[in-house]
Amino acid sequence: MGGSRAQVNKPHKTRFSSKSSRNIHKISQKDKNRIAKSNRNVTQGARAARLQRSKMLREQKKEALLKEKRASGGSASPPRVILLFPLSASVNVSSLAEDILRLLSADVSRALSSTVASSEYKLRATVLHAPHGDLLSCMEMAKVADLIAFVASATEQSTCDYIDSFGSQCLSVFRSLGLPSTVVFIRDLPTELKRRNDAKKIVTSSLTSEFPEDCKFYPADTKDDLHKFMWLFKEQRLTTPHWRNQRPYLIAQKVDMVPDDSSPEKCTLLLTGYTRAHSLSVNQLVHVSGAGDFQLSRIDIMKDPIPLNARKDHNAMDFDDNQDAGIIRSLAPDPSSQVPLLVENVPDPLAGEQTWPTEAEMAEAERNQKHKRLRKRALPRGTSEYQAAWIVDDTDGEDSGVENDGDDDKDDDGMLLDEGESGFPRDNMTREQIEDEIKKIKEAHAEDEEFPDEVDTPLDVPARKRFAKYRGLKSFRTSSWDPKESLPPEYARIFAFDNFARTQKHVVAKALKVEQEGRDDCAPVGSFARFYIKEVPFHVASKLCAASRTAPIVLCGLLQHESKMSDLHFSIKKHDSYDAPIKSKEELIFHVGFRQFVARPIFSTDNINSDKHKMERFLHAGRFSIASIYAPISFPPLPLIALKGAAGAGTPAVAAVGSLRSIDPDRIILKKIILTGYPQRVSKLKATVRYMFHNPEDVRWFKPVEVWTKCGRRGRVKEPVGTHGAMKCIFNGGLQQHDTVCMSLYKRAYPKWPEHRFPANV
């Protein structure tokens, strides 16, 4: 064809440029065998390494299990603590405790002690029986028990009678503390075999759901029944809560006090018993349950009064001998190594002095100021610079739903809550005054559930003065709030961590290193020792000596930093058996592990998607809240039992349970109040609102803050109308006449510093 281009045959595109290069990629059979052999060797080597590692891990676990078994059941281990707890008032555990002690005791002619050693069972045990109705004693016994034996009676007429109300309450508290190994003893079974088996089946089926799956049921009427249980108990691997194994502790089997000649108000408290869980150093700080944190002046390692391989005449404990008899060695603290008893931080009065800024700080401030000038902000007309600082340039709207948050004292928000009110009723109040106060608290609790956060604007005080500490937030979730802004004086007395998780890891590793080194200043695990606790207030020591007759006195060693005050946060839930309202800043007794202290918490929500949390005026039932308190530092995990004092000298009741969450003074808790007004005239998007404020100056002061309605509209204040506090508002949609106009204001809330730090000082 004329004018067409001549066809050019292009070379065929193949994987190879020529035939000679086609076989280059092929591998010879010899090379294939060599590669396969090397791969097979690598596979076999990896498999052998995995098998070797699995074998090593099995051996390590086996050695750890054998070591734990020897430590818990050997002659050097402390006696096992068995707690007999009656599930109902009709159960007699005193006779059962006596039967167990006589079974374990080799010499039945002598008076029985609570701790005995049995060469037949190769076992040492301390048997405690919980007094029915004494909640505090039951709690303290459950904290130290290695085995809780719940005792039920088969003579009850109905299944609901096996556990009474007190038994059910204690069982829920024990679950919150963490249950150790548990069994159930069944008493009062019929003697006839068939009826006996039927009665046991009925009791077992009725109580199985109340206890862990591995809980076993044993008859406990005869000596043969107890004999069978003891043989099983001797070989049983006991499980204890994790928090108990983190610190050394001691159950005082004898409590004495020696007056201090130099200070008549102080004395030296002597606690004698077996060291458990970990070795305890004489340079370490200790906590005595209910009394506080103290230093040690001496530790006497004594001869074991109940050795496992002892003669019959040494079978019972005898503490009436001379105190210096039987002392193997004494440990004295090293002044250079002893941990100081530092509780509060001593603030520097010159720390807040203004210093001249450096050139770098001035340059940075100038750059920030220029950056602010370049940003254009759409603000209402007449907004001052101070009021404009309240409004954050965020577009996310806050949750306009009415939530249960906030509470403070009466001087701050005009609510019912009294600043100086304590959880324990004042002695100078009459019965009628106490009843009126309780009635007001219940009415405030009901009002808080129906209209949470809503407050009335006072008529006699301008709102700009009454709510001067509050500010508005464009978005609760994303608006910024400086955690170091306007801190209270109490924050100068507490301690904070740069990195709490790293500090906890370092402290636990340091304690484990001391345990492994086996230093000379430590009382080893299982040793029988007398601890001299110095500078204990005389009245506190007297209370402990009197309380030791009904409940165990527990001494526990403290980790590093655990005597210092900080801001602790607990995940807390109101107990099902407690019906009375629990206000924020009300005085409660916190049982955190072995430690006890008095605190005045504030409650707040736990917002996952925000660094700010709204305060709650009351602890509401059926949901978890966060309780923030000023208290000594404790490293989690630790359980929490919160008690509230009763009127008069009654036993405190269980108010709430929970666990330690974190230690963070920078956690921002905001108290929210809602000012409400009502539309007077509505015209499309505009409305005249009244009764939110009572003078035009207040309207101008709060003009930059956004308003919202309960039907979902949002808007802003345009201008005041008249002289009685009415205002004109513009909304993003039509407003209904029956709607309610609201304005949310926030301020930061803090816990109250407790008047008494420990229950024994109350």
Q: What is the pLDDT of residues 588-615, one digit of tens each?
A: 999 999 999 999 999 999 988 889 999 9
Backbone angles phi, psi at 252, to 5 degrees: -70, 120
Q: State whether residue 330 is helix, strand or coil.
A: strand
Lowest-confidence segment of 136-145, 385-394, 677-686, 726-735 by average pLDDT: 385-394
Angle at 577 between CA 572 and CA 580, to 5 degrees: 80
Predicted confidence at residue 438, as pLDDT, reads: 67
Angle at 648 between CA 646 and CA 654, to 5 degrees: 15
Domains of the chain: 80-240 (3.40.50.300), 249-307+327-344+506-556 (2.40.30), 670-748 (2.40.10.190)
Instruction: Render pLDDT for 81-111 as a digit per residue (tens, 0 to 9).
Output: 999 999 999 898 999 999 999 998 866 656 5
pLDDT category at 586 given cuts 50, 70, 90 is very high
Angle between helices 93-104 and 223-235 in degrees, nearest 10: 70
Most confident segment among 194-198, 314-318, 360-364: 194-198
Mean pLDDT of 377-397: 48
Determine the residue type at 232: L
Q: Report the b/e string of 613-635 with b at 16+ CB within 10 A.
A: bbbbbbbbeeebbbbbbbbbbbb
pLDDT category at 283 given cuts 50, 70, 90 is very high
Q: State whether residue 311 is helix, strand or coil.
A: coil
Flag whether pLDDT at 341 surpasses 50: yes
Contacts made by residues 19-22, CB under 8 angstroms, sequence distance 24+: none
Give the distance from CA 696 to its chain's centroid: 48
Lowest-confidence segment of 286-300, 569-583, 638-652 by average pLDDT: 638-652
The candidate with the shortest Cα–Cα distance to 188, out of 228, 155, 159, is 155
More confident residue, 607 or 70: 607
Mean pLDDT of 174-178: 94
Percent of the chain scoring above 70 in pLDDT: 78
Lowest-confidence segment of 421-430, 440-449, 535-544 by average pLDDT: 421-430
pTM over 0.85: no
Flag whether pLDDT at 634 surpasses 90: yes
Instruction: Render pLDDT for 12-62 as a digit per residue (tens, 0 to 9).
Output: 555 555 555 555 556 666 666 666 666 666 667 788 888 888 889 888 888
Instruction: Render pLDDT for 149-167 as a digit per residue (tens, 0 to 9).
Output: 999 998 876 556 789 999 9
Backbone angles phi, psi at 72, to 5 degrees: -85, -25
Cite the DSSP H helix spans in 145-281.
165-177, 193-207, 223-235
pLDDT category at 749 given cuts 50, 70, 90 is very high
Per the omega criterion (within 30 degrees of 0), is the bond before 86 cis? no
Predicted confidence at residue 329, as pLDDT, reads: 92
Predicted confidence at residue 372, as pLDDT, reads: 61
The candidate with the shortest Cα–Cα distance to 634, out of 573, 563, 557, is 563
pLDDT category at 77 given cuts 50, 70, 90 is confident
Mean pLDDT of 453-474: 91
Cite the DSSP H helix spans in 375-469.
385-388, 410-413, 431-450, 463-466
Instruction: Render pLDDT for 654-694 as a digit per residue (tens, 0 to 9).
Output: 999 999 999 999 999 999 999 999 998 998 899 999 999 99
Predicted confidence at residue 23, as pLDDT, reads: 57
Q: Where are the beta strands (DSSP E) in 131-279?
A: 147-153, 181-187, 216-219, 249-252, 254-259, 266-276
Q: Is the dihedral of CA 717, 720, 721, 726 positive or negative?
A: positive
Mean pLDDT of 222-227: 92
Flag whether pLDDT at 566 surpasses 50: yes
Mean pLDDT of 573-583: 92
Predicted confidence at residue 424, as pLDDT, reads: 43
More confident residue, 686 or 369: 686
Structure tokens at 177: 């503390």
More confident residue, 666 or 354: 666
Distance CA 641, CA 592 (A): 7
Flag whether pLDDT at 198 surpasses 70: yes
Mean pLDDT of 272-296: 94
Average pLDDT, the chain: 83
Give the residue carrying structure tokens 């791969």.
39
**Distance in angstroms between the alpha carbons of the first and the last residue of the chain:** 117
Predicted confidence at residue 709, as pLDDT, reads: 94
